Structure 1
Amino acid sequence: MSTAELQPNELSSCLEALDQSNDFQVLRRLKPTKAYQTAPATGKVHKVCIIDTETTGLDTQNCEIIELGYQIIEFDSQGKLYKVLAAKNFLNEPEGEITAEVTQVTGLTFTDVEGHQIPWHEVQTDLADVTLCVAHNAGFDRPVLERYEPLFVDKIWGCSVQQIDWQALTDVGSRSQEFLCWKIGQFFYDAHRALDDVQALSQLLSLEIGSNQQPALSFLLQAVRQSKIIVKATGAPFDVKDELRKRGYRWNADARVWQKMMDEQRLEEEMVWLAANSTPNPTVVKLNANDSFSVRAQ
């Protein structure tokens, strides 16, 4: 008998039995929700936009958006998610081609997006009073979106890849969104389509993690609230490049320097490390609250 022939109560019993065994892990398909929990009668709530783009490539200065998905959700200062206010997905015809490699990842062909355009006026209305934008790789999505729509320039952004220490909080080494959903949330979804990715990330951020069992979003909010700086390893000798890379620095080809964004409160510790690695005079640039992950922070 196939699972398709099982009655719902029979299937539920099978899943419960598997869940109780140490030899199996059951993954359930994500069912998008309209509300993660009921908002309290008192207490201020804000709006977060969980957002994702599918593009024609990985060069943020030149790639084109072929799909945009986002959810706008109420949240509070403790990171609890409440009502989903909007869930939207738009296709967009690029000026250039959609390569076979992009189609393999996204499933989208030029025929799928031909004739479609993102209604940016609608996006502007939806995000007008959004407090925070969050992407799983904000360092990619934000620079791309800033090229298309000015409203993203002045928003505060958070990144669920860089601003949540998944390893320390969940003992999961990979920061891949799909893998985190499997390991922490025990659910799967159709990855690499914009709104599907957004709804999966929203669910992931609603899950309670860490020793104190707080919503994952709360840890991201803590990081967002920290003042940010860019540390440039000015004068670093060539032979420390591998150590810089391991520590999270990336090569800025235009400025010809290794650099990374970090919380300002960690600067003293970083200065000690750099000095111990033959780089005693780094350049430090203080960022504004809405600069994180923007081209202004590159």
Structure 2
Amino acid sequence: MNNLREVFRKYKAVVFFDVETTGLDAKTCRIIELAAIRIERAGDGTLYTAGRADMLIKLPDGQRIPEKITELTGITDEQLEASGVTEYNAAAAFAFEFLTCGPVLLVAHNAQFDLSFTQEMLGRYGDDALQLLKDCDYLDSLTVYKDRRDYPHKLENAIAAYNLGDKVKNTHRAIDDVKALFEVCRAMDDERPDLLKYVNTFGYNPKYGVGGQRIEKVSYWPQRFNKYMQPPSCTLPALMKKRRK
């Protein structure tokens, strides 16, 4: 087992995170749940959880969760009211408890979506929190997975492909997805330890383009669906390198 060995030679911590939102547009919709685990490596090489959060986040006064989102996630307005924290407290907790003491690698499945919403949220509460996000590097596990397996490429498909069903579950709740993402990334690293080559590189469907505002420091490249695991010379990072020459 590689246990993300090469990744932890470069980074002090890897933060796996996921958000549930009221919709698809980061400019007009809000995060209603944010979950994260911060993984670090001990002196003996074992990985341990250095931080864990699962926060329901209250909406601004007058806003409610769309019915379709409640059906998908199970999160209700009543839950937000009873157990939710303010967006300010959620932003502060995520930025100052998970993104400090770096270097930090942030990982999400379809990271363009999660980072877009998180960037908007942190940006509403000053430059310090937003700068911590910008100081991180980013890994999109979806981009990696597209180079490994045939369509479809949802997290639940990766769980099945790597036979992780007895370890994790995919429930459309952020904390469960974060735990699953950690295990999927470990499995992908064991399969081929090239995750570092995908850092700050996001593939997108050329039919639809990049969803939302482009994120600073990320390189965006069209990525077509593949029917089998791509050899090292044909992965997205390898093709990018050839195009740059």
**TM-score between both structures, scaled by the size of structure 1:** 0.57
1:152-231 equivalence runs, <5 A? 152-162=133-143, 164-166=144-146, 168-169=147-148, 171-187=149-165, 188-208=168-188, 213-214=191-192, 218-224=193-199
Identity %: 24
Instruction: State the number of aligned residues.
Output: 199
Q: CA deviation at 1:61?
A: 1.2
How far has the Cα of 1:122 moved from its partner? 2.7
Alignment partner of 1:137 is 2:113: no
Letter in 1 for 2:93: E
**Structure 1 residue 186 displacement after superposition:** 3.4
Residues 99 and 251 of structure 1: is their aligned pair in 2 closer, same or farther, counting only changes over 3 Å? same
Higher relative contact order, structure no. (Cα contacts within 8 Å, ≥ 6 residues apart): 2
TM-score scaled by length of structure 2: 0.68
Runs (4 or more) in structure 1 with deviation over 6 Å come to 251-254
Rg bigger for which structure? 1
Query: Does the CA-based 8 Å contact 1:56-1:102 persist in structure 2?
Result: yes
Task: In structure 2, give the amino acid aligned to 1:223.
Answer: Y
Unaligned runs of 5+ in 1: 1-35, 231-244, 255-259, 270-298
- Residues 87, 195 of structure 1: 8 Å contact kept: no
Aligned: 1:250 with 2:209: yes
Q: How does 1:18-57 map to 2 (within 5 A)?
A: 46-57=12-23
Conservation of the 8 A alpha-carbon contact between 1:172 and 1:183: no
**By how many angstroms is 1:250 displaced?**
1.1
Superposition RMSD in Å:
3.5
Match of 1:66 in 2: 32
1:164-199 per-residue CA deviation (whole Å, 9 max, x = no partner) reads 144x53x44321101110121331514211111000
Structure 2 CA distance for partners of 1:221 and 1:253, relative to 1, 3 Å:
closer
Q: 1:121 to 1:209 in 2, by over 3 A?
A: closer
- Report deviation, 1:265: 2.0
Cα displacement (A) at 1:136: 0.4
State whether residues 172 and 180 of structure 1, in contact with CA within 8 Å, keep that contact through their aligned partners in structure 2: no
- Deviation track 1:24-82 (CA, whole Å, cap 9, x = no partner) reads xxxxxxxxxxxx96x9xxx7762011011111111111111111100001259xxx971
**What is the distance in 2 between the residues matched to 1:81 and 1:185?**
22
Deviations 1:85-126 (A, max 9, x none): 112101111121101100011100000111522533332133
Match of 1:128 in 2: 100
